[in-house]
Amino acid sequence: MTRTRPAACLVVAGVLAWVGVAVAQVVEPARQVDLLLTGGAVVTMDAAGRVIPQGAVAVAGAEIVAVGPAAELGATVAAATTIDTSGQVVLPGLVNTHTHAAMVMYRGLADDLALLEWLEEYIFPAEAQTVTPEFVRVASELAALEMIRSGTTTFVDMYYFEEVVAEVAAAAGLRAVLGQTVIQFPVPDAATPADALARADAFIQAWAGHERITPALAPHAMYTLDEPTLLAVRDLARRHDVPVLIHLAETEDESRIAEERHGTTPTGYLDAIGFWGPSVLAAHGVWVSAADIDILRRHDVGVSHNPESNMKLASGTAPVPAYLAAGIDLGLGTDGAASNNDLDMFEAMRLASFLHKLQARDPRAVSAGDSLRLATIGGARAIGLESEIGSLEPGKRADLIVVSMAAARQTPMYDPISHLVYTTRGDDVVTTVVHGRVLMRDGRVLTLDETAVLAAARRLAVDVSEAVRPAAR
């Protein structure tokens, strides 16, 4: 005789089976991650411009693996380290697209001068007397400390002994595009342009393939180099497939020199000799025409806007709204601390927005969102790293920062983007992460001995002052 289940028993069995499936789903093991930042407002800078009021970012190794509401991520991941960002803002690390890191040692050495006078009468002589590998090491550590503390996770550098800058950046945990300078006259690390090119070649080969350091070539400018050297730089860069960093049309004097020597603009001259290409980043781009902007657009040249340095040296105002309208890959830079006088990208964002509102007499000219894009995903595009950094998205490198919003001047906060650009300062950054590694947590720098770095810089400052101050006065 066959036994059958009553209908009620079948229903109960079905319910139990459904519950079993649900329980199995609930108890499914959480994804293991190395780092979870959770609870704060997450400003993603992704294509949709998402801002997640109570968000979270999960990191495994060097990579962002999830971005979303904190409640959702908290239920699906198990983190080795969790950082509570409640009441704070999480955003991509800032990208400084133009600086000379070691020039922090000349901060305040020569102020209130036009560019050519500042360079030729003060900076070039100071460098000739003081720049050595040890100078660059001590100064670059000071710059790295300042950048980590103020939220810069990637910087683009042009200087001498760039292999030393690379060593410092790598040890400090920063990401960097580092250009070995090539210039026509003797400088501390090269007696001739040929020497500089040989040094650059060796530097590129030594650092090729590094996960955070991109070696590059840095021809100083069209007015400090002859055509054969500019073309030799171009050819070396193409041979190694590395970026080229150059000052462009920074001052009216540079435009005058180009007109006198070549009968065209700096941009037009470099176009005429076949210099431009998609791996080139041009710093400043102040004195450019509509035709120049079209040249830069056609060759996919990135541009770095440096409002503070341009204002301080009275160099002029770059046509940022025109660059944006033309679709130029535009980033933001501080320039060196000798002409700024700091490496605070939050200050650069604020002044970029204010400057162009005033220049255009239009409060909408460069919005807070525009400035924040220049300092993050815009800068990443300008240096060809937009697939890796510049926004908080799964699959990108874990380069991000956390900003405190606890100060009186930041209370109340209605719009995180407005606060980041118009209210925040570099010293509001409390946590900095690069390539998944925490470089600073809760205001404590973990990859540099801050006391030792500051002490070494102060000792070096005495030597610099003794060597150059009488001439600077």
* pLDDT tens-digit readout, 248-271: 999 999 999 999 999 999 999 999
Q: Are 385 and 456 in contact (CB under 8 A)?
A: no
Residue 226 lies in a domain: yes
Each residue's pLDDT tens digit, 202-252: 999 999 999 999 999 999 999 999 999 999 999 999 999 999 999 999 999
pLDDT bracket for residue 469 (50, 70, 90): low
Residues 357-383, mean pLDDT to the nearest whole number: 97
pLDDT at residue 470 above 60? no
Does residue 303 fall inside a structural domain? Answer: yes
Query: Domain for residue 86, yes or no?
Result: no
Residue 267 has a pLDDT of 98
Q: Is 87 left (phi over 0), alpha (psi -120 to 50) or beta?
A: left
Q: Which pLDDT band, with edges at 50, 70 and 90, does 28 fall under?
A: low
Helices 133-150, 162-172: crossing angle, 10 deg rounding: 40
Could you read off the pLDDT of 107-124 as tens digits, one per residue? Answer: 988 888 888 888 888 888
- Tell me what pLDDT residue 122 has: 84
3-7, 51-55, 127-131, 382-386: which range is least confident on average?
3-7
pLDDT band, residue 348 (cuts 50/70/90): very high
- Could you tell me the residue range of the domain that residue 217 belongs to? 92-386
Q: What is the CATH number of the domain that holds 301?
A: 3.20.20.140
**φ, ψ for residue 343, nearest 5 deg:** -115, 30
- 397, pLDDT greater than 80: yes
Residue 106 identity? Y
pLDDT at 333 over 80: yes
Rounded percentage of the chain residues whose pLDDT exceeds 70 = 93
| Of 20 and 160, the one with more pLDDT | 160
Domain count along the chain: 1
Residue 141 lies in a domain: yes
Average pLDDT of the chain to the nearest whole number: 93
In a domain, 339, yes or no: yes
Q: Report if residue 63 sits inside a domain.
A: no
User: What is the average pLDDT across 393-406?
Assistant: 98
CA distances from 18 to 4, 24, 27, 391, 400 (A): 21, 10, 14, 41, 42
User: How do residues 181-198 score in pLDDT, each as one tens digit?
Assistant: 999 999 999 999 999 999
- Please determine, for residue 8, whether its predicted confidence score (pLDDT) is greater than 50: no
pLDDT recorded at residue 120: 83
Tell me, yes or no, whether 242 lies in a domain.
Answer: yes
Residue 269: its pLDDT value, please?
A: 98
| pLDDT tens sequence across 294-313 | 999 999 999 999 999 999 99
Residue 473 pLDDT level (bands cut at 50, 70, 90):
very low
- pLDDT at position 27: 53
Residue 24 has pLDDT above 70, yes or no: no
- Residues 180/217, Cβ–Cβ less than 8 Å: yes
**Residue 73 domain-assigned (yes or no):** no
Residue 4 has pLDDT above 70, yes or no: no
